[in-house]
Every structure is written in C-alpha cells, then in structure tokens.
Amino acid sequence: MVELMRNVGIIGIGYTPVFVSKRKDVSIAEMISEAVDAGLKNTGLKPEDIDAYVFGNMATFEGVNLPHLWAAEHMRAVGKPIMRFATGGTIGMAAFHGAYYHVASGMADIAMAVTYEKHSEGDAQVGLMGIITPEVMAMLASGIDVTGQSGMGAIGGGSAGGISFQASSYLHRSGAGIEHIDAIAAMERRNAAKNPYAHLKDPEATAEKIAQTPMVSWPIRFGHICPTTDGATVCIVASEEKAAKIADKVAWVLGVANCASDATTANLIESQITDPAEQLPAIIASKKACERAGIEDPKKEIDYVEIYNGFAHQTLMYLEKIGMCEVGEAHKLLEAGELEMSGRCPVNASGGVVSTNSIGTSALNRVTECALQIMGQAGEHQVEKEVHKAMAHGWGGLMQYCTITILGDKPKKL
Amino acid sequence: MEETKVVTGAWELSTFKFNVEGRGLQLMLKHMKDRKLMGIKCHQCGTVYLPGPFYCRKCHIKIDEPAEVSDHGQVMTFTIGYADVRGNPLDEPRIAPIVKLDGCDSWIMGVMQGCAPEDVHVGMRVKVQWAEETTGSLQDMQYFVPE
C-alpha cells in the first residue's frame, strides 16, 4: 500500500479567455501570461507566493525549443525553480503531476503547472513526423516505399491514420459500431457549446450530422477528429495547510499514476506486438491511481470522468479501460443516455479533447475540468449529480503513455 | 496576405544510426530474397518476433534464435485510407491491414489488394503476395491478398 506524503489540493485554475484556431493578437509568451494572470486573480495570490513552476508544452510543434525560458518572465517565474515536461498528449497532466510532487514531497508549499500550445504558429504534422522519424529512417534504409502504396509502408496517413487501426480494433472487440462514435462525438460537441473555454461548439450536433462528414481513414470520419487549438491553462496546487488559508473550495488530489508500454503501431525496427486498442498503460495506471486513492470500484465510487479523446471512439474505449464499465458496455451506456451531463456516468461535460485540443493543455484541462465539477464551478456545463470523486485521464506519446489523476471533495486521511 | 519569411535548411537523413544495426531487420531482409520470413524467437518464453529485436520484450533478456514465420496470417485490425497525409483525396481507397502471421506473435503492417474495402474484416485470412523478382528488400513483400 502506497501512503501519500501529505495532502495536496487544487486551489486555482486559469484559462486563456478563449480557445480558438488562431490567436493572432498575442505571442506565445503573452498568451501564456493571460492564463497565469487568470490563475493568480482567481486565487488572489501574488507571484511571490508561488514556490515552483512546472511547464508543459510539446517540443517541435511550434518550432520553439525553449518556450519555458522565453515565457519565464511572462509567467512571473524569474528566479524561481522551473522544470519542463514534453510527454506528448499527456504533457498537461505530467506537468500537473510534477507540481503535485513538488508540494506532496514538501519541496514547495504552492506550485503552479503552466501549459500551452499555440498550434497556429507551427505545424503539428511536422512535429508528429519527428515522432516517427526512426521508423522512416529504417524504412528508407531498407528500401521501403514510404508513400504507403505497397510493401510495409502503410502508416495510414498521419495521426488519424495511426489511430484508425485502434478504432477499428476497438469496434471489432467491443461490439460497438461507427454510429456510436458518431453519437459520442455529437454529445461532446453539444457539451462544448456550454463551455466558454471550448473550441468546436455545436449545440445542434447530432449523430446524423457527424455521419455526413467525410471518411478520412475508416472508421474515423472528419467529425470524429479533434481540432488544433491555440490556448493556455494553469493550475495552482497547495499543501493542506496553505490551502486552508487561501481557498474556499479545494479539489483534493487523492491519487496519481502513469504508465508506458511499447509503441503499438509501426515499430518496424523491433517489430510490434500489441493491439493498439489494448492500452495496457491505461488499465495499469487507473488501477494504481485507484489503489492510492483508496477506491475499490471506480464504477461505484467515481462520479465524474474526463477522458483524453483526441478521437471520438476513445471516450468509449477508455471508459472500459479505466474501469468505469465492463468491456463492451460503454456504447450501451451511451445508448441509455448515461454518459450525458444528466446521466449516471457523466463524461467530458467540457466537450473533451475532440472539441478543444491545444495539446500541451489538453491533459491538464481534464484535471481542471474535474476540479471545477468537484468545486461546483463548472457553470453551464456543471453535471446534474453531485461530484464527490472524479477521474482525469491523459493519453499520448505515440500511442503508449497514460496518466491518471483522481480528485475528491475531501482530503485523504493520512 | 500575410508575409512569411522562409529560412532554408537541410535534414541529413543518414544522421540516424541504430546501435542494434537493425539486426533482426537485416536477418529478415536476407531471407526475403528466398521468399522466406525469418524472425527471432525468445529461448525462454517462446515468443516469436518479426522483424526480430535483440531482446525479448516480455523477459527482458538477449535473444538471437532465428525462427521461420509463415507468409499466411490473419487480419488483427485494419483501416481504409481515403485521404493522404495532407488531406487530399486518394484516387482509390487504400486498405491497410495489421496482420498476425502464423507462427509469429508480433503483428506486421502492410497494404492489401484483391479485395473490396467493404469485404475486409478482422479475423480475415490473408497471405503475402511476393514480388515477381525478389531483391532482398522490404518491397519483396508487395501486398497482402485474401487467402
């Protein structure tokens, strides 16, 4: 049994005023400062109150190599400890875990996780290309046709191509159909319409409308895919003692965990063995986080879930992986309306990553949205049931890294 | 119209070297000329990988026992591509299965021909279509076709 070192709570959140395709009015560093200012304003803290900063952003996506140093002054961090995480889709939650460890260990009393992505100032596709560079090198060295017309070069076309193998495997092994992916995408776009910090909002979204969008790579349609978003998010955590003095409402960290596996697709140099829909890291990390949080059955004890779903099928798939329902059951919960904001197992009331994806922030936004639900501050997208415990999930890497954070409305008994 | 400044540069593709020298890949390529697929088996747990890595992912020990793998197998998952990387529509939809070859535990990616997109399914039996003239390159394994 793993014991927590000391209790840590989320005492404040800061978002940029909007999450949109292009923020031409601000630079990267200026955009980050908007979120930092919002976080300080929401907590009433001054820059000198922050003991340590943890920064999260994906390397190569904007072509800026040291954004945490460019932004140091803009996030009022000059002279303070800073560390940076770049773990792919999970960046935001990795940065959050970094801030948590700072405070849980006693190295800091108040720490701020700062994350951003400004996709409009870079080319995410080029960044993603860097991830599979070793594979492309091996293909070229072995005389393979990398255009994917014949031989083993069928990567399937960018991130959506890789993920479609996962979606296809998930559909086959769960019994769900494309119509369920259409329906969950529509539900999340409707939820996003209630979230002022969401990007793609459609209050009128229906499964039928999503089903009319073009097929990109079977079974993934255009309507199932996340946008590229500009935005920044910060999250401030504090020790129990400090939190009591500063905040009226706190979302307490009950358990965190992360896990990695092999690359799952196109690992040509050393072969691949894993079903891309198996997602063993999600299974292991959620079990570990539950154990740390003292949760025996997440189905019964977790009231709200935020899932990292760059692609719509992942909401359903990961509900099964993290233990919120049995395998093959998620699409049945969807059909029964249980996943809606009014349902028994509400998920992604924020609109999810499929509606807003400024990559560095995406996994942190899963945590902050869970915190807002626990604090009762989610506004129009507050779910109907009371949220006592919530689980946030992060996913990324190539396809093989998972982070989990469990929050609660009461601190854990130490 | 936005003004964009362009800085040109070069990307040396040969910069990337692997210490393992792609040993399993080299073994596979060597035998492909004879239309044989040669992987590597873990002497401890029996797992067969293609192309063979130099260590077993399950046992974390060094492995080097060659093991022949069938050129027949089963579709484990697949996609049908309708657009290229930049979103331009393809002339013909491209079927890309991930196949578990008989006698092998790892999966391999490829393209499929001789089958309509609506007929592909998980569990489908397929075989390797070899090139007419094999040269010891990964291109020797041209497509998967229905068995």
Give me the DSSP letters along A94-111: HHHHHHHHHHHTTS-SEE
Of B49, B80, B135, Cβ closest to residue A271 = B49
Percent pLDDT > 90 in chain A is 79
pTM: 0.93
Considering only CB atoms, B141 lies closest to which of A151, A172, A262, namely A151
- A109 vs A7: CA distance, rounded Å: 11
Residue A183, pLDDT score: 98
Q: Residue B19: is its pLDDT beyond 80?
A: no
Q: Is the pLDDT reported for residue B52 higher than 50? A: yes
CA nearest neighbour of A107 among A51, A191, A187: A51
Say which DSSP state A189 is in. Answer: H
Q: What is the DSSP string of A326-342?
A: -TT-HHHHHHTTTTSTT
Residue A381: CA count within 13 A, CB half-sphere = 28
Query: Which amino acid appears at position A333 of this protein?
Result: L
* Mean per-residue pLDDT of chain A: 91
Say if residue B14's pLDDT is above 90. Answer: no
pLDDT score recorded for residue A156: 45
| pLDDT reading at A374 higher than 80 | yes
Calculate mean pLDDT across residues A365-385: 98
Grade residue B5 by pLDDT with cuts at 50, 70 and 90: confident
The predicted structure's pLDDT at residue A294: 95
Average of pLDDT values for A19-30? 96
C-alpha dihedral over A45, A48, A52, A57, to 10 degrees?
70
- C-alpha A410/C-alpha A154 separation (Å) is 50
Q: What is the mean pLDDT of chain B?
A: 87
- Whose CA is closest to B120, among B72, B73, B71, B78? B78
CA dist A22 and B5 (Å) reads 19
The per-residue pLDDT for B58 is 87
Closest in B24, B110, B121 to A270, CB measured: B24
Confidence of residue A155 (pLDDT cuts 50, 70, 90): low
Res A1 pLDDT > 50: no
**Among A residues 24-53, those touching chain B with beta carbons less than 8 Å apart:** none
Please give the structure tokens belonging to residue B141.
């394994």
A62 vs A26: CA distance, rounded Å: 14
Nearest CA-CA distance, residue A5 and chain B, Å = 32
Residue, of A366 and A217, whose pLDDT is higher: A366
Chain A, chain B: beta-carbon pairs less than 8 Å apart? 154
* Chain B residues with CB-CB distance to A217 below 8 A: 79-83
Interface of A with B in 251-270 (CB under 8 A): 262, 265-266, 268-270
Quick: pLDDT tens for B78-127: 989 887 766 778 888 888 898 999 999 998 888 899 999 999 999 999 99
- Report d(CA B12, CA B1) in Å as an integer: 33
List, as one string, the DSSP characters of chain B: ------------GGG---TTTTHHHHHHHHHHTTT-EEEEE-TTT--EESSPPSB-TTT-SB--EEEEE-SEEEEEEEEEEEE-TTSPEEEEEEEEEEEEETT-SSBEE--B-SS-GGG--TT-EEEEEE-SS--SSGGGEEEEEE-
CB B36 within 8 A of CB B68: yes
Cβ B143–A169 below 8 Å, yes or no? no
Q: Nearest C-alpha of chain B: how many angstroms from A313?
A: 14
pLDDT at A372 over 80: yes
* A155–B109 C-beta distance less than 8 A: yes
A-chain CB neighbours of B37 within 8 Å are none
Q: Which of residues 81-140 of A touch B (CB under 8 A)?
A: 125, 133-134, 137-140
Inform me whether the pLDDT recorded for A263 exceeds 70.
no
Closest in B78, B111, B121 to A148, CB measured: B111
Nearest CA in chain A to B29: A142
| CA–CA dist A236, A95 (Å, integer) | 11
Residue pair B126/B27 in contact (Cβ under 8 Å)? The answer is no
SS3 A83: strand
pLDDT one-digit tens code per residue, A293-308: 999 999 999 999 999 9
What CA–CA distances, in Å, run from B36 to A179, A374, B43, B47? Answer: 42, 59, 21, 19
pLDDT at A157: 46
pLDDT band at B59 (very low <50, low <70, confident <90, very high): very high
Neighbours of A291 (CB within 10 A): 14
CA angle A399–A402–A404, rounded 5-degree value: 155
Does residue B6 or residue A277 have the better pLDDT? A277
Minimum mean pLDDT among A40-54, A178-192, A315-329, B51-65: which range? B51-65
Percent of chain A's residues with pLDDT above 70: 89
Cβ neighbours around A209 below 10 Å, total? 15
The token pair at A19 is 């999450």
Note the pLDDT tens digit of each residue in A33-80: 999 999 999 999 999 999 999 999 998 888 888 999 999 999 999 999
Residue A105 has pLDDT above 80, yes or no: yes
Higher pLDDT among residues A407 and A125, named by residue: A407
Average the pLDDT over A328-355 and give the result: 98
For residue A133, CA distances in Å to A20, A57, A87, B7, B54 come to 30, 20, 16, 22, 20
Q: Across the interface, which of A143, A151, A165 has its CB nearest the CB of B98?
A: A165
pLDDT at A275: 84
- Report chain B residues whose CB lies below 8 A from the CB of A274: 107
**Which of A133, A140, A161 is opposite residue B81, by nearest beta carbon?**
A161
* Helix axis angle, A158-174 to A178-192, nearest 10°: 120
> How many residues are recorded in chain A?
414
Mutating which of B98, B100, B118, B124 best tests the A interface, going by the most A Cβ atoms within 10 A?
B98
Tell me if B79 and A272 make a contact (CB, 8 A cut-off).
Answer: no
ipTM metric: 0.88
